[in-house]
Amino acid sequence: MTPKGFQFSTVEAAIKKPGRKDLALIWSDVPAIASAVFTTNAVKAAPVLLSQERMRGGRCQALVVNSGNANACTGAKGMADARETSRILALELGIEEQLLQVSSTGVIGVPLPMDRLTAALPALAAGRGDATLDDLAAAIMTTDTFPKTAVRNGPGYIIAGTSKGAGMIMPNMATMLAYIMTDAAVDPGFLNSCFRAAVDRSFNAITIDGDTSTNDTCLMMANGVAGNPVITGGTPEAEEFVRLLEGVLLDLAKLIVKDGEGATKFVEIRITGAADDADAKRAALAVANSSLVKTAFFGQDANWGRIFAAVGYSGARVNPDLLSLWFDEVQMAKNGLFAGGDAEARGTEALRRKEFAVTVEMGLGTGCATVFTCDLSHEYVSINADYRT
C-alpha cells in the first residue's frame, strides 16, 4: 500500500548503461514537512550538499534520484549538474526548486551524462502515478540483488519506505539511500526528533564493509493527507507512530544487510553488560567490522577468540576476565576462557545457519547495543574488483 497523496514515476535515462529504469521520482500532491539525515563523510556528493542546503526549510514536495552515477568528486560541474537537473524538473512539475530534493548513487568521480538525464526529465514528470513503490525501489538499485520496501499501517495513516544499498555500508549514514513517506499529519519538531532517533536505531546500526559513502541520504516526508489530528510528542498517538516508524526503518536496514555484497550470513551482534551504551556500541561495531571475524563467519569457523580481540581493541572499557560469549544459544566462552565440552562442535553448527546472533557479555554494567552485519565472502571481492567495468 502507498500513503495517500504520494505518486511515483520511473524512466530509463541510460545513465550508466541502457536496458533498465534508472531515474525515479517521488511526488507529494502537497508540500510535506520533511526531515533528513546525510552522510558524515567529509567528501560529500553534489546532490547531498544541495539537499542539505534545501532541507533547512523543512519542507519537500518532490525528490528525484538517479542510479548508476553518484555525481560525487565531480567539482563545480557536479554541483551545476545537480542544480540544472533540479531547475528543469521543478519547471516540469510546476513547483519551487526549494521543494525539490536531488539524490544520486553509483560510480564516484564520473560526470553525469546530462544530455541523457535531462532528456528523460519531461517523461519522468509526466509519468507521476505510473509506477509503484516496488518500481521505485528497483530503479534506485546499483549492486543490490532485489528491491527493498517496507510498509506499516497505522490508525488512519500509512508509513511506507524504500531503501537501496549492498556495499559501502557503515553506520553514520552508509552507498545507502532511503526514502520514507507517510500521509499522517505530524508536528514538525516531533517528526524531526523521532525520525533521527529511529535512524540511529536502524540505519546507523548496520555495517557491511565499514565504508561510509559520499552519498548517504535518509529522508522522510509527511504530507498530512490522511487528515488525522496532528501527532505531537508525549502522547499515546506519538508512541504508536514511533513504533511503526521504527518498524519500517529497521525492516529496510535489515534488508540492506541481508543483501550485502556477496553475503551468505545475516548476523546480529549483541553487546550486553558494557560500562555504558556508548561503549557497547563501540564494541559491537568493532566486532561487526572485523575482517577476521567476518571471514570466520563465512567459513563457519567458531573462532570466538577473534571476537574477544575485536572487543579488546574497540576502545570500550574491558576486563578480559569477565567476558563471556554465545553463538545463538551455545556458550563458547565464560569469564574470558573457552567454555569447554562440546562447545566447539555446537558453535560450528550454529554458524552454519543463514541467520544467527553473537552475544558478548562484558560484565561491567548495564550498557547494551545491537548491530547488524554479514559475513565477508570471496564474492564481495569479485563484485568490488569489477565494479566500474
Catalytic site residues? 175
Q: Which residues, in sequence order, are CB contacts of 56 under 8 Å at separation 6+?
A: none
Sign of the dihedral defined by the CA atoms of residues 280, 281, 284, 286, in that order: negative
In this structure, are strands 330-334 and 337-338 parallel, antiparallel, or unpaired?
Answer: antiparallel
Question: Which 3 state secondary structure label does DSSP give 209?
Answer: coil
Backbone angles phi, psi at 266, to 5 degrees: -110, 120
Instruction: Report whether 131 contacts 10 (CB < 8 A).
Output: yes
Place of cell 510528542: 233
In angstroms, the Cα distances linking 110 to 82, 113, 174, 389 are 13, 9, 20, 13
Q: What are phi and psi of 148, to 5 degrees?
A: -120, 120
- A 10 A CB-CB count for 77 gives 13
Q: Closest Cα to residue 104, out of 139, 69, 143, 152?
A: 69
Given the DSSP bridges, would you call strands 324-327 and 177-182 parallel, antiparallel or unpaired?
Answer: unpaired
Q: Grid coordinates in use for 73?
A: 568528486
Burial class (CB in 10 A: 0-12, 13-18, 19+), 75: exposed
